[in-house]
Structure 1
Amino acid sequence: MEDTVTLVYILAISFVAALRESHPDLKDFDPIPRFVAKQTEYSFEAGELAVLKCEVENLGNKKVGWRKASARGPLTIGTMTFVQDSRVTVEHPPGTNKWNLIIKHVKPSDTGVYECQVSSSVRHLRYHVLLQVREADTKKKKDLDIVITGDPFVDKGEVIKLTCNATGREYPPEELDWFKNGNKMETNFAKKIYIRKMVSINSKTIISVLNIKKADLDDAGTYVCRTSDKQVTSKKVEVLNADTYNVRRVQEIVVCVTPWIPAVESSVGRCDVMDSCSGMFCWKM
């Protein structure tokens, strides 16, 4: 029995050696990669975040790639992206077998069959999933909201403070920018322009506060707030020249009239003109 086991062991070693010799890429004799069964059909609404899942066991030192079946080139290989589309990335948490394809702000044109594949000189392993993208529901579009708050009238030398609050549909917009006269605004300490941003995952909002200290007349104009998902709004701000005051000047006009009314005798008394310039009369008893 022991001789039989020894013989099998020797034959196994010989087989592995021969396999390594004929296939240099199998020197480490890694097990064949295997896809873990996952969802194969996905449906998203336009504008949503699409996540196509792929999990591979026994990957070894091989690479996982994603491609759209109708396209020639790959979308991703490993964690690298090979298309000029910032919406496309790969989610690979360290230490896991997950290689999920992420498509942000998915479009109807993204509909199609996608391949998660592991390539080697021995064979190509493929895992196909179907992505369907439907048009956005007009009712849900109302969930999007963007508004600018702040004082539309500011005295010269005072602070212009505008707050832009934007809400996303499934998650907060990734970015929010300010524009004035078509030019993008950024924090500029020399010009006393300060921009700060805050994001709330729970409320799906991003907030940006624009402060311009010591406002000048040139700071008057229309300020535009725009998010990465193309929500846009604007607010006009007037800068008032506080050095000029509208002063109401009241002129006291005094008319002096020479009284011509003669003194009047009565049983009550006598009326005399006491002050001809003010035209005031009094009764003297």
Structure 2
Amino acid sequence: MSYRESRPTVVANGKGRPWALCVTNVGKIAGVFLCLFALNKYVEGDPPQDELFQRDFNWQFRRKRMTSLSNNSNYWLLVQSTSPSFDPSPSKNITTQIGQTVYLHCMVNNLGDKTVSWIRRRDLHLLSVGTETYINEERFSAAHVEGTNDWPLQIKYPQLTDTGLYECQVSSDPKISFFVKLNVLEPKTEILGTRPLYVKTGTSINLTCVISDSPEPPIFVFWYHNDRMINYDTDRGKISLQKGEEDAAISTLYIKDAQPTDSGNYTCGPSNSDATSISVFFLNGENPAAIQRDASVSRASSGDHLKILEFFLLVFPWYLLR
């Protein structure tokens, strides 16, 4: 019996079969790598497209909402209503006079846990914090009344040196300030008309006393004839007091049917200023120029007599000591 050696059958296109197998295997390997790449991306946390869309949608919604709120006036009103702010009603320019107690007002809304301080801008001196005073001068004090939003600074007996700018400061973040300018005036008294005043017998005496730089009228004005107060002499006279313009007060003295006994010095003495006087003379057939000339001669004569007396007092002791 004869045996035949078995050999693989060679196909006519046997040369193309290994190439086909290679392409098939490469395709499988590439598919595996693509799957691994996609899986790795998913494991590392890259969100799917629907999640990216949801995030973008939420961001756009929030952005539009914030934009609409910022453009809404009610939003800013809400912010302002919860933050400290100043009430604009108190005056920023206060005028007073020497010796009259004055209050600088500062009204704060929504103060919360913040504090109010007063600072004198002239020297940056801290005057008060809350209800405590931080200056060793009793004229200054914090005058807050519990339960109110007013935090005034009280100044007793103000002086001319107290004139200037004062700052009311709230300890918010950032700090806010309200400024008040204080003007302290010194009243002046003047009787209008020429000095001295000449009148004829039987005419009237009409004197006008002006108290300037006086924000508040004086409590009283006393008139004196020589050394006697005449406010209550109503038989032939009348005294009035009224508020004038530009921080002024006016007091008038009227005496009808004036007689020579009414001659002398008349003094206007307001309660808030120094007194001032005027001399009244009566004409007896002479003109004012002649009276003034006689008065000048009289004063000159009196002056000469005084000089002679002084000379005598100086020379006589020296003569005795010789």
- Structure with the higher helix share, 1 or 2: 2
Q: TM-score scaled to structure 2, two decimals?
A: 0.36
Q: TM-score scaled to structure 1, two decimals?
A: 0.40
Larger Rg: 2
